[in-house]
Amino acid sequence: MKWNFDEEVDRESTNCQKFDLRKDVFGSADIIPMWVADMDFKTPDFIIDALKKRLSHELMGYSFHPREYFSSITGWLRERHGWEVEEDWISFSPGIVPALNLCTLAYTRPGDSIVIQPPVYNPFFDAVKNHGRNLILNQLVFSKGKWRMNLDSLRKIITPNTRMIIICNPHNPVGRVWDPEELRDLADICLKNDIIILSDEIHCDLVMPGYRHTPMASLSSKISSNTITCLSPSKTFNVAGLATSSVIISNPVLRKDFKAKIDHLHIGNGNIFGTVSSHAAYTNGSEWLSALLEYLEGNIEFVMEQCKEFIPEIIPVRPEATCLIWLDCRKLGMNGKELDEFFIRKAGVGLNEGSLYGPGGEGFMRMNIGTTRGRIAQAMEQIRKAVESIRT
């Protein structure tokens, strides 16, 4: 393998949230951190080389996004996802979460309602509530080991002042790759009720073999004109610290409203290194991503097998995408707080407790497997011993 994903990289003392905040978050630094959704693999060499080349020019003044920055994004989406995007549809955002908040401000007013579908990435809740909008929860349904959208429920809970729905595609934390039929059915409901679709597609490249990501906006021109798509190289290529994301809006009216928010806040320039890394990733990243996905698939298989053979009380929900595994821990008979304490104190592993992601998350834990096989093996052994110690 050209890239060594088994290499252990010391991330301590680098202002790394995942490692350097362990004591603050878990009460102990002696924890295997498998929580924050970034990976423990080195940023790919072709990105590092591009950054070094830019650093050789020792001036870091004001910059802009050149045409090749946008063409690399459109080329990647065309080749990887079969989605034809025009360059002028793309707006910059310093992150997906800022984009969610900017869209709330651009497309809704205080008192309007926004739908989210929990259990879901927790900043979705804040993007609604922090701006005085009404939060409507359309809880996902878990049946026969698979999570699904409850569209019958969605039809019933929509109100006349429902203006927007925020979806996670692929879904964090449950790992679903929504299929085209599910997305079309959702889009039909939104079109009939004049509801804007805000689609967080940051995990779109981390799709496991046998599955295919469908960009919501790729389904039809009508759906595209009603959809705002947020994506970034940050998860795929482990460059989240460079704060560079794209918001793709084909509808010129919606795009104008979004750009107005970006311009009013003067946050549209981004930073030099985010621009360089994004271009390098989308220009040179296909081979590296294929190798990464193969490694992540192996990590998933390892966790699935370990639980099946040694820890049957924990049932992993096999992820179709992301570097995250949603662990069904309900057989342990603990509430959320007890589960959190169990994994921290008994197992020495730092995960995300499920209720953080809203209704439906109780009894689950989110594990980040974007790390070395060796670290996962150590974590699973510690979890096995912890579960064994409480068996009756």
Domain end position, chosen among 259, 284, 309: 284
Predicted confidence (pLDDT) per residue in 289-338, tens digit: 999 999 999 999 999 999 999 999 999 999 999 999 999 999 999 999 99
How many separate domains does the chain show?
A: 2
Domain contains 375: yes
214 and 305 co-located in one domain: no
Give the contacts of 8 (CB within 8 A, at least 6 positions apart): 372, 374, 375
The answer to whether residue 9 scores a pLDDT higher than 90 is: yes
The Cα–Cα gap between 284 and 276 comes to 12
How much is the pLDDT for 195? 98
Confidence grade of residue 2 (pLDDT, cut at 50, 70, 90):
confident
Same domain for 371 and 232, yes or no, is no
Query: Which one-letter amino acid corresponds to residue 284?
Result: N
- 247 lies in which domain range? 60-284
- First-to-last alpha carbon distance for the chain, in angstroms, is 45
Both 201 and 330 in one domain: the answer is no
342-363 core/surface letters (b: 16 or more CB in 10 A; e: else): bbbeebbbbbbbbbbbbebbbb
| Predicted model pTM | 0.97
User: Is 149 a domain residue?
Assistant: yes
| CATH code where residue 367 lies | 3.90.1150.10
Kindly state whether residues 160 and 278 are assigned to the same domain.
yes
Reported as a single tens digit per residue, the pLDDT across 186-240 is 999 999 999 999 999 999 999 999 999 999 999 999 999 999 999 999 999 999 9
Q: Between the CA of residue 78 and those of 81, 171, 246, 301, what are the distances in Å?
A: 6, 22, 15, 30
State the greatest distance between any 2 C-alpha atoms of the chain, in Å, as a whole number.
65
In a domain, 91, yes or no: yes
CATH code of the domain containing 199 = 3.40.640.10
Residue 166 and residue 104 share a domain? yes
Residues 158 and 303 in one domain: no
| Residue of 229, 227, 153, 152 lying closest to 195 (CA atoms) | 227
Evaluate whether residue 53 is within a structural domain: no
Single out the residue in 243, 262, 284 at which a domain terminates.
284
282, 72 contact by CB (below 8 A): yes
Residue 130 sits in the same domain as residue 163: yes
- 70 and 112 in a common domain: yes
pLDDT given at position 1: 58
Neighbours of 135 (CB within 10 A): 16
* 358-390 tens-digit pLDDT: 999 999 999 999 999 999 999 999 999 999 999
Mean pLDDT of 72-78: 98
Please say whether the beta carbons of 229 and 258 come within 8 A. Answer: no
Residue 325 domain flag: yes
Q: Measured between alpha carbons, how far is 316 from 326 in angstroms, rounded to an integer?
A: 6
Do both 150 and 274 map to the same domain? yes
Q: From 249, 284, 319, give the residue that closes a domain.
A: 284
Q: Say what the pLDDT of residue 324 is.
A: 98
